[in-house]
């Protein structure tokens, strides 16, 4: 803990995303405005072998909450203007990746598990995104 009472936590990735989107710019911005826009986007969550045992009990068809790092987000902003809007708002009232702690959260649907690889739909992350946790929705 630092002198001002702030705590720093060390997190490490448990896996990596394999996505049809190579860069953030490859994700159509207008999709972020439409509910369910990513439902058909398929990809994989590759969990590192040392964490694969933690996948036991996940069932195809279930929804998973994935916590990840916005590893390509760049500098954080406290005010952002979301897609489709004209007025800025605080970053904590948005889904912007440009955050003080670049942690993202998304929900995907599990299609299948092949060993340490989860085949999912509903993917809205870019290739190589570090996964820091998975939880049932």
pLDDT, tens only, 67-96: 999 988 877 889 998 878 899 999 999 888
The CATH number linked to 24 is 2.40.30.70
Q: In terms of residue numbers, what domain contains 86?
A: 18-136
**Residue 9 counted as domain residue:** no
> How many domains are contained in the chain?
1
Q: Reply yes or no on whether the pLDDT at 36 is more than 70.
A: no
53: tokens are: 């045992």
Q: Reply yes or no on whether the pLDDT at 127 is more than 60.
A: yes
Q: Residues 104-122: what's their mean pLDDT?
A: 95
Q: Residues 51-57: what's their mean pLDDT?
A: 97
The residue with tokens 């959260």 is: 105
**Residue 7 counted as domain residue:** no
CA distances (Å), origin 117, targets 15, 23, 37, 53, 58: 9, 21, 24, 12, 12
**Residue 38 counted as domain residue:** yes
What predicted TM-score, i.e. pTM, was given to this entire model?
A: 0.84
């Amino acid at each position: 803990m630092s002198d001002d009472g702030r705590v720093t936590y060390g997190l490490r990735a448990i896996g990596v995303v394999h996505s049809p989107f190579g860069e953030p710019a490859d994700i159509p911005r207008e999709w972020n405005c439409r509910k369910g826009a990513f439902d058909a986007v398929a990809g994989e969550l590759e969990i590192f072998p040392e964490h694969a045992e933690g996948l036991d009990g996940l069932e195809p068809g279930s929804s998973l909450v994935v916590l990840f790092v916005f590893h390509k987000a760049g500098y954080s902003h406290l005010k952002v203007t979301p897609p489709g809007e004209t007025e800025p708002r605080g970053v904590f009232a948005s889904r912007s990746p440009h955050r003080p702690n670049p942690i993202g959260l998304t929900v995907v649907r599990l299609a299948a598990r092949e060993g340490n690889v989860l085949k999912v739909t509903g993917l809205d992350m870019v290739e190589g995104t570090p996964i820091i946790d998975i939880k049932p929705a």
